[in-house]
Amino acid sequence: MGIIELNQLSKFYGKAKGIENVTLEVNEGEIFGFIGPNGAGKSTTIRTMMGLIFPTSGSAKIFDMDCSKEGPKIRQEVGYLPSEVFYYDKMKVLDLLKYTAGFYQKDCDARMYELAEIMELDLKKRIEDLSYGNKKKVGIVQGLLHSPKLIVLDEPTSGLDPLMQKKFFDIILEENKKGATVFFSSHILSEVQALCNRVAIIKDGVIIKVDDIKSMREDNYKKITLRGLQIDQEKYKLEGVTHIINGEDSFKFFYKGDINQITKQIGNDNLLDVLIEEPTLEEIFMHYYK
Ligand SMILES: Nc1ncnc2c1ncn2[C@@H]1O[C@H](COP(=O)(O)OP(=O)(O)OP(=O)(O)O)[C@@H](O)[C@H]1O
């Protein structure tokens, strides 16, 4: 049984498609990345999982419970950080966090103070006096103070400065080491690459790929850079060669196929240098969205 199980999940807003036939399984202990550009359907998927909106068809289960029917029970063990955080502006940070802690059937005080200290959050301030980034920090502490079994993060790092992002990722990794499963949406690929074990790519409401980060980088493409003044570029018009970029004394391309074939070709050229690398996730992602 997966911690999250989405089966043919669709959500239409009237006639407008939010997501269509999303099927995914997230296993216990994974850090799972959910990536896609703006409007791809990430928040729709997550809101359906959290029982905040209802699916048009299909099912979403967390801990083997139906998200539409058992929302309150599921939420006891889920920490959710929405993409946009809205608050009771007049409340003080501490009062809001205590109010949140009151929803859980466990004592959250120690962890709450600990997280607030790590995130350098001023508990005495009113919400309305906080910057956007500091409001986001309140959301993070709110989402994690009950040490949930599943952490669901919808674009969590927007608004955080790099130092805070690092602290936040350290907290997430620590929670994961303690056993929490993490589901994490983002359009920033480097952070997904740094944090996640597996990733799903969503485009126009449809999942186009689910893979582990390692094989996604290794199995697909090689990024090849050749340096030299007399490279016969015509000879590289081969099957599997794409994304060609011509520089002054360099020639770059992506290659997918038999590595012997391409190295044979490279061996025929008089080169100053050659670099064969794994593409970054960013580059792979661009391929899927071209
Ligand atoms: N309440 C709504 N009413 C109508 N259409 C909606 C509603 N919410 C989302 N949509 C549409 O559903 C699609 C998916 O949107 P969603 O917010 O889930 O994407 P997203 O991947 O989270 O994007 P972003 O990164 O911009 O938050 C979009 O086409 C969006 O316009």
**Which DSSP string do the residues of 97-143 spell out, in sequence order?**
HHHHHTTSSS--HHHHHHHHHHTT--TTSBGGGS-HHHHHHHHHHHH
Query: Which neighbouring-strand residues pair with 212?
Result: 198
Spacing, Cα 83 to ligand 1 middle (Å): 12
Most confident of 119-133, 170-184, 216-230: 170-184
| pLDDT in the model for residue 267 | 87
Spacing, Cα 19 to ligand 1 middle (Å): 9
Structure tokens at 112: 């709450």
Spacing, Cα 121 to ligand 1 middle (Å): 31
Instruction: Decide whether any atom of ligand 1 lies within 6 Å of the 44 Cβ.
Output: yes
Q: Which of 43, 50, 154 for mutating ligand 1's site (highest number of atoms within 8 Å of CB)? A: 43
Whether ipTM tops 0.90, in short, is yes
> Predicted confidence band at 245 (pLDDT cuts at 50, 70, 90)?
confident
Instruction: Decide whether any atom of ligand 1 lies within 6 Å of the 9 Cβ.
Output: no
pTM assigned to the model: 0.83
> Predicted confidence band at 149 (pLDDT cuts at 50, 70, 90)?
very high
Instruction: Decide whether any atom of ligand 1 lies within 6 Å of the 16 Cβ.
Output: yes
> Predicted confidence band at 288 (pLDDT cuts at 50, 70, 90)?
low
Instruction: Decide whether any atom of ligand 1 lies within 6 Å of the 18 Cβ.
Output: yes
Of 108, 51, 58, whose CA–CA distance to 74 is shortest?
Answer: 51
**Looking at the predicted structure, is the pLDDT value of residue 231 above 60?**
yes
Is residue 244 within 8 Å of 152, Cβ to Cβ? no
Report the Cα–Cα distance between both ends of the chain, in Å, rounded: 35
